[in-house]
A and B are shown apart, each in its own frame.
Chain A
Amino acid sequence: METVTDKKIVIETRDIAKVYQDSKIAVQALRDVDLEISEGEFTAIVGPSGSGKTTLLNIIGGLDNPTSGTIRVAGRDISKLKDSERIDFRLHNIGFVFQQYNLIPVLTARENVEFIMLLQKIPVHEMKARSLHLLEEVGLKEKANVRPSELSGGQQQRVAVIRALASRPKFILADEPTANLDSASAANLLDMMARMNQEEGMTFIFSTHDQRVIDKARRVVTLEDGIIKSDEIRS
């Protein structure tokens, strides 16, 4: 198993285990997961359904706590943070892209992109300039004032991605971002994220079993039954 050591490590998991108590049956979603992710990586976590991809992503994003083990993100043990501290941590450090585009239906595309910046209390003029710039980047400037229901699935996901990027987080965690997209939209979205990764230097981690995403990734971590089976770094 190779690891990345030439760049600063920003995510570090040690012996992570997660057990879900579903009714009377305990389900081991993750076991002994040791993972280090460096700044600026474009990593895919792959594996079949139920292999623990989303659980690992949720733990890295501070949405869930491991049953045992430690998780350090940007130098902080996030499992020890209080609920409100963790929300703040996510707000300022992590951008999420979900499988279901999760745009707020009553806000326009531009307002959706501005939403997280609004929570971060970024000045209005800066917020507007950034949102319009990003919408232009992804070819949606003319759709800035329309609501999500008037956008196609691919367009909605692009808005969801730039919403995650807009606040300049250190990490983007994307859970099956291309699952509901056709090939053209998926390719378009992946190109855009790769470009953002290059230009903005953000760390991207995907959970996916979409081969198109896997092909684009520069590192592929394979999970099976909650265990890391392989960790492949591509040149």
Chain B
Amino acid sequence: MFKLAWRNIWRNKRRTIITIVSIVFAVILSSLMRSMQLGSYERMIDNSVRFYTGYIQVHKLGYWDEQVLDNAFYPPKGLQEQIESLDGVEAAVPRLESFALASHGTRTKGALIIGVDPEKESHLTEMEKKITEGTMVGLNEPRVVMGSGLADYLNMKVGDTLVLISQGYHGVNAAGKYAVAGLVEFGLPQLTNQVVFMPLPAAQYFYGADGLLTAIAVVTDQSGYVDDVREAILGDLDSSAYEVMDWKTMMPELIQGIEIDNISGIIMLLLLYLVIGFGMFGTFLMMTKERLYEFGVMLSVGMHRSRLQLLIFSEIVLLATLAVLTGFALSLPVINYFSQNPISLPEEYKTAFEKFDIEPIYAFSNEPIVFTSQAWVVFFMALVLSAYPLYKIWKIDPVTAMREGR
């Protein structure tokens, strides 16, 4: 049966090749489109999660709804160590976050102040790798690292002094001046344009919030561990005093934005596959029409309809498999290359992208789903389209088929 099916698909080589090429083209194009789309989402999530929130955060209950310093908390003794001891947890990163007015010379801008433990923070933001100028600060230094966008706005460079004014914990005045140790640049332009990283003890002192944290960000080994880790942390904490949130809960706008964009991407893919589907259907139609006489003969000599249907179905599946595998073989190296070497947009587009707070990079995903989803779509289409020849065989009358098929 397999041998017969294989030979049958090659009996009209030119048509088979045209069909395979059209499916291959669809698989490559849709894989690239999907890879770019998913890659952009991964990059956006990564930029937001890895560079900012972390996959999970522990706060005082109510902090996320009202993100003010007064909702900071004293971390229970040993909590950080306890979280870090959980399976799948890479690090627990303490933070104290608030806002301040940042000034240099005659310029002032609102800034996001993040008090960090530089050693722990490297697990989350890998900040030391994002330093574009100067150096990282040590935990006990009274210096800061600031976003390059903010530095540009304030006309500052490494070594200059940044003046910060704010309101501290429970309304105390907060003011200080800090030397700039380094400049950082993140994938999120919004963050680069407003962030100031300060060593945690310095931030706590600045805000009059000694020993207080606004969040403990948790870095997991893999994003798939988030739910389990969150459950484990929740189990160890008093839920009437603390909240444990995952990144999806903390960034619903990002998820919604991705979902909306995803739908438009899927519609584009469907349109592409619709065109290819017509091509495939044309082939299956011809396969059936031109072999009507042969089908009549096969039924006459004693081949059961179900067996003939199985033969035709095998031909369709073989054709689809061949095309999908060829599509994979050709798209895999391209996607792998681009996932390692994302396309960086020319300078003139960067400003436009940054306006929408999007990193001016086309990233590609090489997650297996990029490929498997194409395989499923092609096979599903083949399955649906095979209904026509299978129905035709079910209804065929051998005598009529032999008369009309001549």
Contact = CB atoms under 8 A, between A and B. Distances in A.
Contact of B294 (A87, A95, A102, A164): A102
Interface stretch (A104-112, A126-134, A195-203): A104-112
B406 interface: yes
A102 B303 contact: no
B399 A98 contact: no
Interface stretch (A37-45, A56-64, A205-213): A56-64
Contact of B4 (A61, A88, A95, A106): A106
Given A63-B398, A100-B406, A102-B294, A87 B303 contact: yes
A84 B304 contact: yes
Interface in B306-362: 307
A96 B300 contact: yes
Interface in B152-191: none
Nearest to B400: A64
Contact of B7 (A64, A100, A106, A119): A106
A90 B302 contact: yes
A98 B402 contact: yes
Contacts of B293: 100, 102
Interface in B277-302: 293-294, 297-302
Contact of B301 (A64, A83, A91, A106): A91
Contacts of B7: 106-107
Query: Which of the four size classes fits the interface of chain A?
Result: 20 to 34
B305 interface: yes
A116 interface: yes
B302 A83 contact: no
Contacts of B11: 105-106
A49 to B, nearest CB: 14
A168 interface: no
A141 interface: no
Interface of B (DSSP majority class): helix
Contacts of A84: 304-305
Contacts of A72: none
A98 to B, nearest CB: 7
Given A106-B8, A106-B11, A63 B301 contact: no
Contact of B302 (A64, A88, A98, A107): A88
Contacts of B298: 104
Given A100-B293, A102-B294, A107 B4 contact: yes
A174 B164 CA distance: 103
A224 B10 CA distance: 45
A216 interface: no
Given A100-B406, A104-B294, A83 B305 contact: yes
A116 B300 CA distance: 11
Interface string B364-406: 0000000000000000000000000000000000110010001
Contacts of B8: 106
Given A102-B297, A106-B8, A92 B399 contact: no
A84 B300 CA distance: 11
A96 B398 CA distance: 13
Most buried by A among B8, B399, B406: B399
A148 B307 CA distance: 23
Contacts of A64: 399
B383 to A, nearest CB: 24
A104 B4 CA distance: 9
Given A84-B305, A91-B301, A96-B300, 8 more contacts: A64-B399, A84-B304, A90-B301, A90-B302, A102-B293, A106-B7, A107-B7, A119-B307
Q: 4 tightest A-B contacts by CB?
A: A91-B302, A106-B7, A102-B297, A90-B302
8 contacts: A84-B304, A91-B301, A91-B302, A96-B301, A98-B300, A100-B293, A106-B8, A116-B302
